[in-house]
Amino acid sequence: MAEFSTNQLPLNTMVHMVTIKLTPTNYLLWRRQFVPLLESQDLLGYLDGSFPVPSAQIRQGTESVPNPSYKKWHTQDRLILSFLYASLTKECMAEVVDCSYSRDAWLALEASFSHSSKTREI
């Protein structure tokens, strides 16, 4: 799982680096700017599933206790989800309003817009 590092950009800086907001017709262009930025910050794993959700609880002896890895993961995922939301137009927000995790939102956006963008590109 990605850890916060001194090289990681603050969320408000990342938001300003994504200059094209997602519309129903520009998915491929939007994705082209979004993915390299997340890769550069070692955050793409939250969207592609390679950083899966850890268990919220772990066993410590005979007790179940909160998992510190879950807390870190959840906090980072909330930041990524906020970043995703900030890069969407109002029309596109409807596609992710019920998504609990950044990966869910990512997959919903891909399912909703990638086909129409590829068709337009051709």
Q: Where are the domains of the chain?
A: 11-121
pLDDT value, residue 122: 43
pLDDT value, residue 53: 96
Both tokens of residue 84? 């995703």
- Give the Cα separation of 57 and 41 in Å (integer): 27
pLDDT value, residue 116: 61
Per-residue pLDDT of the chain (122 residues; tens, 9 = 90+): 555 444 787 777 888 788 899 999 999 999 999 999 999 999 999 999 999 999 999 999 999 999 999 999 999 999 999 999 999 999 999 999 999 999 999 999 999 999 764 444 44
2-37 core/surface letters (b: 16 or more CB in 10 A; e: else): beeeeebeeeeebeeebeeebbeebbeebbeebeeb
